[in-house]
Each structure stands twice: as C-alpha cells, then as structure tokens.
Structure 1
C-alpha cells in the first residue's frame, strides 16, 4: 500500500510539472508504466522517440524499479537508443537503477537522468560487451550485477 501511495503521489507531481521531451503513459496496473523520451538537442537522437518501461514492486521506494528501453512497433518506436551504456535488449547500465538508488530518488529523477544520459552522449556505440550480454542477459535488468566503471559518457 505504501508503494502504491508513493507512486500515485509521484505521478500527480509529474502531471503538475511536466518534463521537456518526456511523456508518461499509464497502464491499468499502477506498478507498470511507460514513458517516452525525445532528445532533439542531440543530433544522435534527433527526431527519435524512445520508450522506457518501469516495473515497480511493493518494495518501492526502498528498491528501484526495473527500468529498460522497449520498442513499440504499433506506435512507430522501433529502436533502442544507441548509447555506450544501453544494451541492444534495452537494459540500462546506470548506477541510479542499482547501487546508487536510495528512497529519496523518484520516477522523475530516473527520467531526468535518462534524458540527460542521452542529451549529453557524443558516442554512437553500444557497450563493449553488448553482443555477449545480449545473448546471456536475464529478462529482468535488475537481475544483472552491472559494474559501473565509466561515468564519462
């Protein structure tokens, strides 16, 4: 119940104060939501829209949501952003979604981080271990123990 109340409060806040380039898409399940992100200020992602899926548990905000980029073919979202910390399967290597998470963080802070992550990127490449990770990765990105060794992107 506490997780549900926190999510509802955060969603109300996102309704009041929208974020440039970010739109929230609700589902029938309060614990699953989507957001679209566009970053027109970066030529690598100009005219592209990307979709992020949040899967939130009852332990929220004490544990971070599972968060990954997904495709939505019906809406024309057919690609995962190419970024040195985003794998082909949409998994995101971002410490905020793992070891740096604290209950003070929010859905908003994740969205701002992802938008900034894309806006500041200058390299059109996947992580060095992308093909190996893609073949053996778990379905849930939270089941991966990422090593956060490069914060220069």
Structure 2
C-alpha cells in the first residue's frame, strides 16, 4: 500500500501532466516522490521580467500534512531572485511554507504564490540579515526560515 504522501504526489503529478501548469510555470523533472524541479517566470511587466528561476521541492514522508522544503536553485550559474524574502542561497521566507502551510495547498499553488510574490515586488533587495543567515543556514530551509520571524 502506498503512503499518503506518495498517493498525493502521484495525484498532483497526474494533474500537472494532464492539465499542464499555469503560464510561466514548467515542470522540469519529477521522477520520484522525494524531489521535483520547476521553472518559474513572472509574466507581464515586473522587476523580474525576462528572468527564469528554478525551484526545487523536497518532500518528506509527512507531505501534505507538512510543507515541502522549497528553494530557488543557485548552482550551475543559476542565482536566486533578488527579493526581500529570498536569501542569496535560495531559501525562501514565505508564510505558506511554514506556519501558514495547509494540506489543501498543492505544488502548483506554491509555484503560483511564489510567482505572484515576485510579480508584486516593488524593490529588488535581499533580506536585511542575508549574510548572517546564509553563513549559518542548514541545508533544509523549512526547518530554520519562518516568515513570522521577519
């Protein structure tokens, strides 16, 4: 019998493959139920126009009860978007990835939220504590970055 997490991720993947993703969001790879990769691009007029960023989702066995660990990839020449809630190491401070996570949210809903977060940004800047955070941050962003702390 498949775990709740595996069944939920299989359902989400079927929906993505059948219906596709919203404009500006593309599934790159989802070959297991542990890690998925997407690209997101803000469509329309914004500070991020023309930029394409890669997101990595890591799922633990408690998904969807627990949130996925989501971060922008910063390897192979990729950089994280310069945004007040995105650290230079790719970690994201967003309430829906922490204390406001809900099991009704899907992977695509998270991508759309992050796309909207970028689209609504008025000034490109890093979080105030970027250097200290990046120096001390562990590999798993959801265990240390809480939106309510900032």
TM-score (norm 2): 0.90
In structure 1, list runs of 5 or more residues that go unmatched.
none
Query: In 2, are the aligned partners of 1:64 and 1:98 still within 8 Å (CA)?
Result: yes
- Report the aligned-residue RMSD: 1.6
Secondary structure class of the residue paired with 2:93: coil
Q: 2:6 matched to 1:4?
A: yes
Secondary structure class of the residue paired with 1:126: coil
Query: In 2, are the aligned partners of 1:42 and 1:120 still within 8 Å (CA)?
Result: no
Tell me how far apart the structure 2 counterparts of residues 145 and 53 of structure 1 sit (CA, whole Å): 16
In structure 2, list runs of 5 or more residues that go unmatched.
none
Tell me how far apart the structure 2 counterparts of residues 55 and 111 of structure 1 sit (CA, whole Å): 13
Tell me how far apart the structure 1 counterparts of residues 39 and 106 of structure 2 sit (CA, whole Å): 17
| Counterpart residue number, 2:100 | 100
Q: How does 1:1-153 map to 2 (within 5 A)?
A: 1-15=3-17, 16-73=19-76, 78-148=78-148
Report the number of matched residues: 147
Secondary structure class of the residue paired with 2:47: helix
Secondary structure class of the residue paired with 1:80: coil
Measured after TM superposition, the shift of residue 13 of structure 1 is 1.5
TM-score (norm 1): 0.89
Tell me how far apart the structure 2 counterparts of residues 42 and 139 of structure 1 sit (CA, whole Å): 33
